[in-house]
Structure 1
Amino acid sequence: MTDHITIAIDAMGGENSPDKTIEGISHHLKNSDNSFYLIFGNEKLINPLIKKYKINSDKYKIIHTEKIIEDTDSALGAAKKGKDTSLWLAMESLKKGESDCVVSAGNTGALFVIAKLNLEMITNIDKPALSALWPNKNGMNVVLDLGANIECNEKNLIDFSVMGSALHKSLFEKEISKVALLNIGSEEIKGNTIIKNTYQALNDKKNNLFEFCGYIEGNHIMDGDVNVIVTDGFTGNIALKTAEGTANFITSELKKSMTSNFIGKFSSLLNIKNFKKFKNKLDPRLYNGAILLGLNKPVIKSHGSTDAIGFANSLKVSEKVIKGRLIDKIKENIN
């Protein structure tokens, strides 16, 4: 286990940065006493925030740059901006071994391209996958791919099973990783040829890292019977956005119904504890921090529109995957 970790932070990426990134660091420090932060960005904007949130000088180092990648930049355009943007410099520190991971809330396409330009893929993995946490009845799911690859073959999906299980083990060491393939039905005959061939390969060859549990349908993702859900990036991204939209709809409608009249307000006061528990279960900030798997070093993508609490959670995820030896676990289990 790593005792001391260094996190490279693209302080300028995403909405309301660098304010939310620096405040996010201050929140993370409350529960982490062994983290050091390399903060990449405009020190004229960052220094007042460091003072505002009272971050000790022995916990960070600012690497100044005034060049940033905008959310409106294309992936190729971002790469062409040069090697002195906050995101590129952060990624370069990871490449050189000066940091243990990179966290950015910036442009997703730019993050993918700059990560692949700087970092090598793990041997025998053809494609990276974007993975994130997703709540279920019993705890948490790891879901991948969430948009890095529109099309995948059987080998890609098998690799995703290994990478997703390694991530799950890194985050939840005492749990058994249970893998399922997202499909349109639970029967073996359902699905396209790629899904069927992947099912057969995973069913025939056991892996010490995980238990293969067959297919899962979209309406059972949150049941908690499995905890690693594998699919291609096209399907995964649609499933994620649908789940996020549904969660936002439920919480907003529930809040509206509980504050629209006197009876609603009175009942909400009586049930405020349960309502807060329910709201927290669906709060996307608490699951913030998607991981780009397949590269030889960990890269964490924070949601661009999240706040300081959400960004702090992405830092918490980065700390866990470093301490949980994520990259080593993938290397040990990829054939």
Structure 2
Amino acid sequence: MITISIDAMGGDFGPAVVIPGAAKSLDRHPELRFLFYGQEDKVLPVLDRYEKLKKASRFEHCDIAVSMDDKPSQALRRGRWKSSMWKAIEAVKTGDADTCVSAGNTGALMAMSKFCLRTMADIERPAIAAIWPTLRGESIVLDVGATIGADAQQLVDFSVMGAAMARALIEVSRPTVGLLNVGVEEIKGQEEVKEAGRLLREADLGTLDYLGFVEGDDLGKGTVDVVVTEGFSGNIALKTAEGTAKQIAEYLRAAMSRTLMARIGYLLARGAFNRLRDKMDPRKVNGGVFLGLNGIVIKSHGGTDDEGFAAAIDVGYDMVRNSLLEKIETDLQNFHGRRARGGASSDAPGQTSG
């Protein structure tokens, strides 16, 4: 049995999307149990319509709901201890829940998660990892918005954590990893990226296979299982991909309705178009995972519908079922332990490794 804590007030639509999404995920995973946190007058009337979900759930009233435009500092001051977002995260800390899912304000969710759960040992900053549809299936891309700017060590830590997530979600035993760069040549790119590449080559980790630098077009190709970058470029890449998918969908819709022959052609090829639409549906890969914390937190897109929110819950379910935290902790301990031993033996007397 896996317990999911839910910020029922999060997102653009709150309980109207969150609760039907939880009901869909429960249909797919009957062993799930839910803890809902939110305002009673808004949550319970919706929850009462889903008898099966209600039996598998517990609800706790919270006076405060963090708004989508609250600044992280505001949310912490006003919503700490009392908001539905904080309570959902705190349930993971106390062990009442295995993972938390929220469609709320990303900055506030990250700030509260860091404050409540703290980062893992040796992790300076957490990352948000996204599931990315590719020609080969799915890849993991991180960071997509948590850390603006990252040094070489942080990029290496992102690589280790992303590989652990790939092992948990995609279920590959030794994921391939690439650093996003402006070219594949080792002389190109920022110094932090080049240094991270050197560290990954020298580390020779058994839990991942570092393949070098990858470029922007490799994201869609699925050249590697895990693409690592810092949050500024990662977030731009994510929003660009989402916008391009919507643009192509609009082009197709307009083209298929322009003439009678086009409409007939659409009817004849409807099965192929439906498969394409399903492939390009952002709801299917909804759910960013906060990596580097002492607990699992899933960020759903704020504007998604119930199908998208169910997908975010499914991601949380998979992360718990496949022991994501344990994999990350083990991999980080092995990497930092090996680096400390190597640094100690290679440093001159009186010096320590950087």
Q: Distance in 1 between matches of 2:56 and 2:49?
A: 15
Structure 1 residue 41 corresponds to structure 2 residue 41: no
1:146 corresponds to: 144
Q: Choose from 234, 237, 246 the match for 1:236.
A: 234
SS in 2 for 1:168: helix
- Select the residue among 21, 46, 49 that pairs with 1:52: 49
**Which moved further from structure 2: 170-179 or 249-258?**
170-179
Deviations 1:168-218 (A, max 9, x none): 111122454110000000111111111111111111221111111111110
Quick one: distance in 2 between partners of 1:111 and 1:174?
A: 30
2:72 aligned residue: 75
Q: State the match for 1:105 in structure 2.
A: 103
Q: Matches of residues 1-335 of structure 1 in structure 2 within 5 Å? A: 4-82=1-79, 83-174=81-172, 176-334=174-332, 335=336
What whole-Å deviation, never above 9, does each CA across 1:28-51 have from its counterpart, x for those lacking one?
Answer: 011101110000012222222123
CA positional deviation for 1:139: 0.8
Larger radius of gyration: 2
Residue 260 of structure 2 aligns with an amino acid whose one-letter code is F
Q: Secondary structure at the match of 1:52?
A: coil
Q: Partners of 2:55 and 2:163 in 1: how far apart?
A: 35
AA aligned to 1:306 is T
Q: Distance in 1 between matches of 2:190 and 2:132?
A: 25
Q: Deviations over 1:282-322 (max 9, x none)?
A: 11100000011000100100000000000000000000000
Q: CA RMSD in A?
A: 1.1
**Equivalent position SS for 1:333:** helix
Task: Assess, with a 3 A threshold, how the Cα gap between structure 1 residues 175 and 251 changes in structure 2: closer, same or farther.
Answer: farther
Alignment check: 8 A CA contact 2:166 2:172 kept = no
TM norm structure 1: 0.97
Deviations 1:242-283 (A, max 9, x none): 111111100111111111221111111111111111111111
303-312 or 57-66: which moved more? 57-66
> SS at 2:139's partner residue?
strand
Say which SS state the counterpart of residue 212 (structure 2) adopts.
strand
Decide whether aligned partners of structure 1 residues 56 and 128 sit closer, same or farther in structure 2, where only a CA change above 3 A counts: closer
Contact 2:168–2:324, Cα closer than 8 Å, also in 1 = yes
Q: Which is worse superposed, 90-99 or 295-304?
A: 90-99
- The SS at the match of 1:291 is strand
Contact 2:26 2:53 in 1 (8 A): no
The CA distance in 1 between the partners of 2:225 and 2:276, in whole Å, is 20
Letter aligned with residue 329 of structure 2:
K
Q: CA deviation at 1:56?
A: 4.1
Distance in 1 between residues matched to 2:326 and 2:173, nearest whole Å = 18
Could you tell me the percent identity over the aligned residues?
Answer: 39
Deviating runs (4+, > 4 A) in structure 1? none
| Matched residue SS, 1:6 | strand
SS at structure 2 position matched to 1:221: helix
Letter in 1 for 2:204: K
SS of aligned partner of 1:113:
helix
SS of alignment partner, residue 52 of structure 2: coil
Is the 2:173–2:207 contact (alpha carbons within 8 Å) kept by the matching residues of 1? Answer: no
